Chain A
């Protein structure tokens, strides 16, 4: 067994122990009765129009989310790939903030902006002296579609721009010189080259929406329940584990088939690329058209962010004016509660879990991506899809799986912080794999070969040839691993000790009680979450080495 194979054992053990084993444990508990495997629950799930409706809606909403995210994200990806402009790093950090926010906070943002008492309506009513709010889109399809696009925009922007910024523009220029129009050049040259990254981001956006509890549900009402929600209801409230187990299996099988299909398509679309440093691909923004484009894209970004900005505005307003009152309240334990945790501690908790998640995800994701990118060996697709599977499994199913499987020494992780990091990283490392793969597959082999011929060891080849080229994609993976962990809430049933409270959990606690002060503190904590993650993204973005360029 070569050293490379040996290295692959680590992620395999990790996946087996922390994903497959807990999953098997909960499915066995749910589906296997005294008389062996009980197929009746599959029959009742697949024969019931209600559950079929939930399955169909889940697929449908995930597809629409993905398409909208692509439509909105691709132009922005081009902006960040090909232009330099002041404030770029900051704006790029902002694109990813929505991805982190808890769904109920996002829903509140949409209501604060577009609701009948929202900023937009009240301003219009003041302006035109209207008696009734002119915009009525809460609980409609319009607001749902807007929210969809809002969530996954970042995935497309980040992953596609990482590849786009390194594409050699000479290819496009050549096509143009040979007489191809702009559109034709894009369709025949740029798009095929970008396809691996577009597919990667589409997959992630789809998988994420597929298992999402759904901003749709919160904005649109209970008839918009996804599979994830239905599994949660069946497990935690109705306690019909056989039905929940059967639905989980349906969810897993569907995700797996979808992943296999995707892997096949992606293998076919893989193209060897001549990757260039971004400094060589950047466009000058002298022309009027370029400037208009940049301005329009930045404006679009602010429109996307406007629901969150409306919340920040509310976080600072108290009574008739603006103040820091809600923030100040976070710092005092007025009621002497046992569960009070200072905001500094909460932020630190979130950051610690996120950093640990980033570290685990980078290690696991990089090893797996390397294995998958090596040419040859049929059947790799099976592994690729398997390693992506955690993205497609219900959080509540896996959570209870942990409780059943990891409950005896030496693996009694209940009540330990480790279990939270494991839960977070299972959703996070697929982002690292998908960020790395398009770049790794496009890596020209001649560089490595040359280095090896000159006597470099495998480790030196990795450090001096590969890392500089994949650094940018690594950073994208790290960004999402960080984002996933900072926003993760589904693992809350894994026994959260008061001193483990994270920012999203704190936000939910405040929103669990009535009253303006609770709402205010939830909004203040949400604003802090936005600030912390934006700052985190900027730090990650800055974390690179200059002499090799911005790969």
Chain B
């Protein structure tokens, strides 16, 4: 009977779906089920479970995590909760009843929010002794720096060559006719590099000068500026390196190196370059903090020590294209294609925390309205 088959089919489908998903509930690295051990033999304590919440872009080696688990009799679960902004808001909404023990990925553009909301427990890791003072983003040690990167403009070498253009030497130059319709940036209200670049222009042009950052952005707008919502859309639909028609994009100083690393052997030198203008690049420092309400403070502190250690610090650069804050950690060979800006924008996390929304509002009025 066909009808019966249909109904049975539907039920089976439902059951399979549920059963399959049920499987996932089991902890992945299930240790061989130990038979109920006789009370006499002391069994090692059950591993403690540590949950680290982070954003979509975070990446780390499996081996490194195993190393921590073995050394501390722990199992680590790293969960991704949307982008950096979403993960932080989530941690704030869960204040007091966190679903994770640590939050990785608060940077110096959003640090103030995390501190104001008092979601972190302070911890001054002894491993900070290897971290240069310039990276200590939080002097109260609620958030410990782990990695850093620089946000600046990238240019498409082939496009510039074909159109007989030299990479821009200053930011002011971008308002000239030769760069008309050639720049794409990310919206600072929705994108981390977009916000970082806005802050860099604030630091560079000033807020109350005769020609301030808003004048600059108004001129960019008049010169055919394109604003995209996020980095992926700007980089993969508008940047000419990947099929778009604009040769200048806001990205990271390590992106050209990543272009070589991920070119599948096609490029031996970067196909893109960095526009490094003194005081107009942004040093983005990212950190980790222990979430208030966790029952595993000790283990969480050990994880922070571990995150500053050599094996962790040397593992993530070729996965996230960011630099380790530990001065003893080596970066991979292809990082030679990345450039380190000599003089990034000079602006404190406190000033950023105080004025961030004000700048974004003013920017939105000047550029989007």
Per-residue A-contact encoding for B2-31, CB less than 8 Å = 1, 0 else: 110111011001101110110011001000
Is the pair A496, B236 in contact by a Cβ cutoff of 8 Å?
no
Is the pair B319, A221 in contact by a Cβ cutoff of 8 Å?
no
**Contact residues in B for A218 (Cβ distance below 8 Å):** 228-229, 233, 237
Chain A residue at minimum C-beta to C-beta distance from B189 = A233
**Contact residues in A for B24 (Cβ distance below 8 Å):** 417, 497, 499-500
Which of B5, B81, B228, B251 is in CB contact (< 8 Å) with A222? B228
Interface residues of B in 71-96 (CB under 8 A from A): 77-83, 85-87, 89-90, 92-94
Is the pair B189, A511 in contact by a Cβ cutoff of 8 Å?
no
**B313: interface (CB < 8 Å):** no
Is the pair A498, B78 in contact by a Cβ cutoff of 8 Å?
yes
**Contacts known (A116-B245, A337-B319); A352 close to B81, Cβ less than 8 A:** no
Is the pair B21, A353 in contact by a Cβ cutoff of 8 Å?
yes
Chain A nearest CB from B1 CB (Å) reads 9
**Contacts known (A338-B65, A497-B79); A464 close to B3, Cβ less than 8 A:** yes
**Contact residues in B for A217 (Cβ distance below 8 Å):** 229
Which of A225, A238, A337 is in CB contact (< 8 Å) with B360? A238
Which of B85, B235, B244 is in CB contact (< 8 Å) with A115? B244
Is the pair B243, A115 in contact by a Cβ cutoff of 8 Å?
yes
**Contacts known (A233-B189, A421-B21, A492-B80); A514 close to B9, Cβ less than 8 A:** no
**Contact residues in A for B86 (Cβ distance below 8 Å):** 236, 396, 493
**B144: interface (CB < 8 Å):** no
**A78: interface (CB < 8 Å):** no
Is the pair A104, B232 in contact by a Cβ cutoff of 8 Å?
yes
Give the most central of A348, A417, A468: most B CB within 10 Å: A417
In the bound complex, what is the Cα–Cα distance between A514 and B14 (angstroms)? 40
Chain A residue at minimum C-beta to C-beta distance from B79 = A495
Is the pair A513, B258 in contact by a Cβ cutoff of 8 Å?
yes
Which of B187, B264, B364 is in CB contact (< 8 Å) with A50? B364
**A308: interface (CB < 8 Å):** no
In the bound complex, what is the Cα–Cα distance between A217 and B191 (angstroms)? 14
Is the pair B3, A138 in contact by a Cβ cutoff of 8 Å?
no
Interface residue count for B (Cβ, 8 Å)? 86
Which of B7, B90, B237, B266 is in CB contact (< 8 Å) with A319? B266
In the bound complex, what is the Cα–Cα distance between A112 and B238 (angstroms)? 11
**B274: interface (CB < 8 Å):** no
Give the most central of A117, A133, A236, A240: most B CB within 10 Å: A236
Interface-side segment among B40-48, B54-62, B135-143, B284-292: B54-62
Interface residues of B in 289-331 (CB under 8 A from A): 318-319, 321
**Contact residues in A for B63 (Cβ distance below 8 Å):** 336
**Contact residues in B for A50 (Cβ distance below 8 Å):** 364-365, 369
Chain B residue at minimum C-beta to C-beta distance from A314 = B243
**B259: interface (CB < 8 Å):** yes
**Contact residues in B for A128 (Cβ distance below 8 Å):** none
**Contact residues in A for B240 (Cβ distance below 8 Å):** 117
**Contact residues in B for A219 (Cβ distance below 8 Å):** 237
**A448: interface (CB < 8 Å):** no
**B207: interface (CB < 8 Å):** no
Is the pair A118, B243 in contact by a Cβ cutoff of 8 Å?
yes
In the bound complex, what is the Cα–Cα distance between A117 and B261 (angstroms)? 24
In the bound complex, what is the Cα–Cα distance between A284 and B77 (angstroms)? 61
**B368: interface (CB < 8 Å):** yes
In the bound complex, what is the Cα–Cα distance between A399 and B83 (angstroms)? 13
**B97: interface (CB < 8 Å):** yes
**Contacts known (A233-B189, A545-B3); A338 close to B227, Cβ less than 8 A:** no
In the bound complex, what is the Cα–Cα distance between A116 and B262 (angstroms)? 24
**Contact residues in A for B259 (Cβ distance below 8 Å):** 514-516
Is the pair A497, B190 in contact by a Cβ cutoff of 8 Å?
no
Give the most central of B10, B17, B357: most A CB within 10 Å: B17
In the bound complex, what is the Cα–Cα distance between A325 and B262 (angstroms)? 13
Chain B nearest CB from A367 CB (Å) reads 14
Is the pair A352, B20 in contact by a Cβ cutoff of 8 Å?
yes
**A156: interface (CB < 8 Å):** no
Is the pair B79, A359 in contact by a Cβ cutoff of 8 Å?
no
**Contact residues in B for A112 (Cβ distance below 8 Å):** 243
Is the pair B78, A509 in contact by a Cβ cutoff of 8 Å?
no
**Contact residues in B for A223 (Cβ distance below 8 Å):** 227, 368
22 examples of A-B residue contacts, CB within 8 angstroms: A50-B369, A115-B243, A115-B245, A222-B227, A232-B190, A239-B85, A239-B113, A337-B60, A338-B65, A356-B21, A359-B10, A359-B18, A362-B10, A414-B99, A415-B99, A417-B24, A494-B81, A498-B78, A509-B56, A512-B231, A514-B255, A516-B266
| A→B interface (CB under 8 Å) | 29, 50, 53, 104, 107-108, 111-112, 115-118, 133, 138-139, 217-219, 221-223, 225, 229, 232-233, 235-240, 318-319, 325, 333, 335-340, 348, 352-353, 355-356, 358-359, 362, 396, 399-400, 403-404, 407-408, 414-418, 421, 463-464, 467-468, 471, 492-500, 508-509, 511-520, 522, 543-548
